[in-house]
Amino acid sequence: MTNLKENAMKIYKAIFEGKKHVNIDGIEYSIKKFSSGIKYLDLFGYRFIEQNRNKKSEWAKKTREGHEIMWVLKGRRYVARIMDGTYTDLIKK
């Protein structure tokens, strides 16, 4: 994946605009849903997943208040968060 931030922003936009697909580097990828309705996309070893509003966490509370939150994971590690269109790198440098 050439640019994680750029691609994450495209996926974020597609998820929260209710799109079924997202175009990355000229290839169209389907946005999937878990049985819970949570949207996600697995791509290049990363998982891009929207915040589950039904959890008991502070982040879930923020989604219930109207914030749009998506996480980027590599394996079990959170590498980035996008909240209301703002990308935050979570890797400690």
The length of the chain is 93
What pLDDT is recorded for position 69?
A: 98
What pLDDT is recorded for position 1?
A: 47
Q: Where are the domains of the chain?
A: 4-89
Cα Rg, the chain, nearest whole Å: 13
The mean pLDDT values, 10 residues at a time, for the chain of 93 residues are: 86 97 95 95 96 96 97 96 97 78
Q: Taking the CB of residue 16, how many other CB atoms lie within 10 A of it?
A: 16
DSSP track, 30-87: EPEE-TT--EEEEETTEEEEE--TTSSSHHHHHHHTT--EEEEEETTEEEEEEETTEE
DSSP for residue 3: -
What pLDDT is recorded for position 2?
A: 54
